[in-house]
């Protein structure tokens, strides 16, 4: 059971940007590889990794850890999520079925009670990451722990919040994912505050985020008290001629 598209969400995000050698990253699904190309800087791929706390006031509230590759489609910027974990079954099911986002289940801790520090960690419980019944096998995840069912640590981070930028800033991007044999392009819009930050990530070298192990982010920031509209609104669908994407879907 999950809400219909679009999802209205609120919360806090702690985001870091890494530059990772291309050969270290998990491959995108074939239909995506044929459509998008990674954005590179000095031969390295731009990767965003984030801890997110979705809070009451949105359609769902849960915690999330994700890693995404910045890509382009004939010059148009896109984001493709390669690894993502949540602690909500509704979020996992909706993300997979509506948008092709390869969400897995994990145990997530996100402690922001000791300002200015945010302490985050994630681990996969044994057998908790197996794909849900009826989910398309074309939705790929590079999660080693999830695929094996053995469980284990994913990673952790300690974020130190710094200066707050005045005002609130618009957020907007398009997520491109493989859904079945097609590419699903999903608009995301919102607004939030910004704070600079330092972040020390500790990814398990043998885990699914091993490509981040030992790497330092080139940039970290917090997107505070954000609101997001994730997915097509009725107006978007009318313009594009798409039918409504319903919640509570069954195969």
- Tens of pLDDT, residues 219-229: 999 999 999 99
Query: In whole angstroms, what is the distance from residue 177 CA to residue 32 CA?
Result: 7
**15 located within any domain:** yes
Has residue 249 got a pLDDT over 50?
no
Domain that holds residue 48: 7-240
Give the chain's end-to-end CA distance (angstroms, integer). Answer: 12
The DSSP bridge partners found for residue 68 are: 48, 81
Report the CATH number at residue 134. 2.40.400.10
pTM for this prediction: 0.87
The pLDDT, as a whole number, for residue 229 is 98
Could you please report the per-residue DSSP string of 86-149? ES-HHHHHHHHHHH---EEE-EEEEE--STTEEEEEEEEPTTTTSPPTT--TT-----HHHHHS
**249 located within any domain:** no
**230 located within any domain:** yes
The pLDDT, as a whole number, for residue 245 is 59
The pLDDT, as a whole number, for residue 251 is 32
For residues 176 and 190, is the Cβ–Cβ distance under 8 A? Answer: no
Nearest 5 degrees, angle CA 22-CA 28-CA 32? 120
How many Cβ atoms are within 10 Å of 108's Cβ, its own excluded?
Answer: 21
pLDDT, tens digit, for every residue of 111-132?
A: 999 999 999 999 997 764 444 4
Q: Domains in the chain: how many in total? A: 1
**165 located within any domain:** yes
Query: In whole angstroms, what is the distance from residue 76 CA to residue 79 CA?
Result: 10
**251 located within any domain:** no
What is the pLDDT confidence band of residue 151, given thresholds at 50, 70 and 90? confident
Has residue 135 got a pLDDT over 80?
no
Query: In whole angstroms, what is the distance from residue 217 CA to residue 236 CA?
Result: 35
Has residue 241 got a pLDDT over 80?
no
pLDDT, tens digit, for every residue of 66-117?
A: 999 999 999 999 999 999 999 999 999 999 999 999 999 999 999 999 999 9
pLDDT, tens digit, for every residue of 5-64?
A: 999 999 999 999 999 999 999 999 999 999 999 999 999 999 999 999 999 999 999 999
Who's near 133: CB < 8 A, 6+ residues apart?
Answer: none
Element containing residue 165 per DSSP (H, E): strand 152-179
Structure-token match 């679009």, residue found: 6
The DSSP bridge partners found for residue 58 are: 56
**77 located within any domain:** yes
Query: In whole angstroms, what is the distance from residue 219 CA to residue 233 CA?
Result: 32
Nearest 5 degrees, angle CA 221-CA 75-CA 13? 20
The pLDDT, as a whole number, for residue 55 is 98
**2 located within any domain:** no
Label residue 114 exposed, middle or buried (CB < 10 Å: 0-12, 13-18, 19+). Answer: exposed
**232 located within any domain:** yes
């Amino acid at each position: 059971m999950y809400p219909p598209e679009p999802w209205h969400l609120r919360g806090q995000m702690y985001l870091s940007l890494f530059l990772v050698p291309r050969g270290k990253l998990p491959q995108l699904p074939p239909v995506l590889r044929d459509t998008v190309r990674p954005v590179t800087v000095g031969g390295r791929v731009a990767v965003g990794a984030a801890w997110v706390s979705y809070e009451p006031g949105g359609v769902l509230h849960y915690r999330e850890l994700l890693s995404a590759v910045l890509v382009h489609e004939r010059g148009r910027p896109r984001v493709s999520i390669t690894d993502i974990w949540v602690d909500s079954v509704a979020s996992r099911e909706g993300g997979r079925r509506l948008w092709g986002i390869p969400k897995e289940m994990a145990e997530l801790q996100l402690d922001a009670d000791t300002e200015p520090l945010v302490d985050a960690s994630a681990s996969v419980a044994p057998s908790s990451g197996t794909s849900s019944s009826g989910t398309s096998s074309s939705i790929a995840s590079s999660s080693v722990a999830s695929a094996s069912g053995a469980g284990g640590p994913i990673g952790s981070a300690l974020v130190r919040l710094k200066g707050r930028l005045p005002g609130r800033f618009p957020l907007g991007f398009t997520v491109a994912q493989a859904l079945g044999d097609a590419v699903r392009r999903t608009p995301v819009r919102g607004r939030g505050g910004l704070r600079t930050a330092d972040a020390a990530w500790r990814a398990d070298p043998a885990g699914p985020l091993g490509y981040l192990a030992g790497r330092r982010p080139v940039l970290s920031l917090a997107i505070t008290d954000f609101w997001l509209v994730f997915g097509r609104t009725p107006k978007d669908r009318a313009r594009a001629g798409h039918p409504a994407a319903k919640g509570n879907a069954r195969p």
